[in-house]
Amino acid sequence: MKDANSLKGSKNNSKLSSVSPISAPVSKQIQKKKESAKKISIVEGSMYSVMDGFGLRYIAPFALALGANNAQIAFLSSAPSLFGNVSQLYAHKALSKFSRSTLCFIGSLLQALFFLLIIGVGILYFYGGLSSFWSSTLLVVVYVFLVMFGSFLSPIWSSWMQDVVEKHHLGQYFGLRTRVVSLVLLFCMLAAGFLLDYFKHTHLFLIFALIFFLAMLGRLTSALLFKWQYEPKLKLEQKKYFSFWSFLKNLTKTNFGKFVLAYSLIILATNIASPFFVVYEFKQLSFTYIQYVVLTMVFVLSGVLFVPAWGKFSDRYGNLRTLKICAYLIPLVALFWFLSFLVFRHSPSWVFYYLFIIEGMSGFAWAGFNLATNNFIYDSLDRQQSMLGFAYLGLLAGIGVFIGASLGGLIASFDFIVLSLTPILVVFFISFIARFIAAFVFLHRVKEVRCCASFGLKEAEQKLSHTSPEQMLNYMDLSFVVKELRGVEKFGLEKPVEKMLKTPPDGILKEMKWDFERFSGRRKW
């Protein structure tokens, strides 16, 4: 869009002299740097997955090994998300003093070092005689700071990647990136699970210490890669800044605000149940570490397999359509987890295979939902505003996580049986109802923000007929004009290009309409 606007309203814009001889090689150089940055980002994401697979994924099992209760597990899931996302409010101010690469480097470095403190908590419990309550509480505090540094970097990194990846390739690139980093995540989780399961009766803490140390090394490598990655210059414009409070005031008035509200409510509903899946697996189903890892791997692997398809689908048919499809599947995940008790009563050995299928469906749904969420923000806001958008969405989502997990933890902590259902099963059913309401009521108020293909030609024609010339031109990507200007003289296309650039909107629309009618068969070739 920036290219399109720069070509309008100026006599000099259509002249070849506006493209200096130096601009071509500079542009090619920058493009090479961006391509290199995209490759480095995939490697950096893989190193993050090392931290995730060896570290973050095993925080909850480690808390259970320390003797944490349901309320502490709920707080372990909710508190880091809440306080971590609050830190994102200061990301914009930090960028006025430091570069994005510097902030990502420092944040990742500090995040890595906190794994040493997590190992220290284990030493105090297993060898120092610290009680289960205080060990679990201390783990929550340390984990809050670890997540806080990661959350602080999220909008900064998102802004950085928006400058590196072309808008029309967002779905394709992040589909590929997600696929690669997810495979690394799978390997790390599997290796850690095998080690924990094999030594669970002899050297459980030593294995936890080993995998957390490997997680630290992964994040340290990730931090170094940020220093090698190309970072386009970021110019902050004060006029594009909008405060969190002004955003809240207009939450239900703007399309982006409605999207954030719907997303946050879905996250709230999801986290009523999601922290307790691992508790249900270990305490009620008596799963091993390998069974836990396999189910988690199925979730991740399903995302790996389907995220490229989701990327292509969202690029073609829109992020909102992708969000809706996935949001309709997400409530079913909680419902099927709730119904697992029937399978367990009938045949306890079959419940693992049942949940295997459910986690596959869950990975399929969440892969598309997360991908479309990020791309919807990129499409809705420019690079500076997207940083604020990610921060405010993260904060409201963090509040949603806190409320949802706290509500689930409160219910799960009660000692009651309703219709032969344990408190955790009741939590699963409540989450299903809440997810259903959030998806089917609030997400329907959101509108797509970019032009995308429809499933039928007739529907596309109807959309075109209700689109004004100004809106049509806003949808057009004229960046190809800039790319081709350098070769205009060679092929003698100066005048045709100048004519096209000087054509008024109505004239362009007239030609487009004729071409459409010819294509649809209303005019003969």
Instruction: Please check the confidence at residue 357 and state whether its pLDDT lies above 90.
Output: yes
Q: Where are the alpha helices (DSSP H) in 339-456?
A: 340-346, 351-380, 383-413, 423-437
Q: Residue 220's pLDDT band (boundaries 50, 70, 90)?
A: very high
Q: Residue 327's pLDDT band (boundaries 50, 70, 90)?
A: very high
pLDDT at residue number 10: 39
Residue of 201, 218, 269, 227 whose CA lies nearest to 55? 218
Contact 313, 366 (CB under 8 A): no
Alpha-carbon span 287 to 502, nearest angstrom: 69
The predicted-structure confidence for 461-491, as pLDDT tens digits, reads as follows 455 455 554 554 444 444 444 444 444 444 4
pLDDT at residue number 172: 77
pLDDT at residue number 24: 43
Instruction: Please check the confidence at residue 219 and state whether its pLDDT lies above 90.
Output: yes
Question: What is the percent of the chain with per-residue pLDDT over 90, rounded to a whole number?
Answer: 30
pLDDT at residue number 452: 55
Instruction: Please check the confidence at residue 361 and state whether its pLDDT lies above 90.
Output: yes
pLDDT at residue number 90: 78
pLDDT at residue number 450: 66
Instruction: Please check the confidence at residue 32 and state whether its pLDDT lies above 90.
Output: no
Helix (H, G, I), strand (E, B) or coil at 398: helix
Q: CA neighbours within 13 Å on the CB side: how many for 23?
A: 9
Looking up tokens 């309320």 gives 71
The predicted-structure confidence for 176-213, as pLDDT tens digits, reads as follows 888 888 889 889 988 998 999 889 888 899 999 999 99
State which of 204-208, 297-301, 449-453 shows the largest mean pLDDT. 204-208
Bridge partners (DSSP) listed for residue 418: 421
Give the pLDDT mean for 506-524: 46
Q: Residue 523's pLDDT band (boundaries 50, 70, 90)?
A: very low
Q: Which residues contact 374 (CB under 8 A, 6 or more apart)?
A: 158, 170, 174
Q: pTM for this one?
A: 0.67
pLDDT at residue number 504: 59
Instruction: Please check the confidence at residue 238 and state whether its pLDDT lies above 70.
Output: no
The predicted-structure confidence for 372-401, as pLDDT tens digits, reads as follows 888 888 788 766 677 777 778 888 888 898
Residue of 168, 158, 171 whose CA lies nearest to 323? 171
Instruction: Please check the confidence at residue 83 and state whether its pLDDT lies above 50.
Output: yes
Contact 386, 158 (CB under 8 A): yes
pLDDT at residue number 471: 52
Give the pLDDT mean for 453-467: 49
pLDDT at residue number 9: 37
Least confident range from 171-185, 222-236, 436-450, 504-518: namely 504-518
Give the pLDDT mean for 267-283: 90
Instruction: Please check the confidence at residue 519 and state whether its pLDDT lies above 70.
Output: no
Contact 292, 278 (CB under 8 A): yes
The predicted-structure confidence for 33-42, as pLDDT tens digits, reads as follows 888 888 899 9
Least confident range from 146-160, 217-231, 473-487: namely 473-487
Domains of the chain (ranges; CATH) run 30-231+246-445 (1.20.1250.20), 455-520 (no CATH)
**Which has more pLDDT, 103 or 484?**
103
Question: What is the percent of the chain with per-residue pLDDT over 70, rounded to a whole number?
Answer: 77
Say which DSSP state 318 is in: -
Q: Residue 152's pLDDT band (boundaries 50, 70, 90)?
A: confident
The predicted-structure confidence for 277-288, as pLDDT tens digits, reads as follows 988 998 888 888
Tokens of 174: 């992040």
Alpha-carbon span 38 to 32, nearest angstrom: 10
Least confident range from 205-209, 273-277, 316-320: namely 316-320
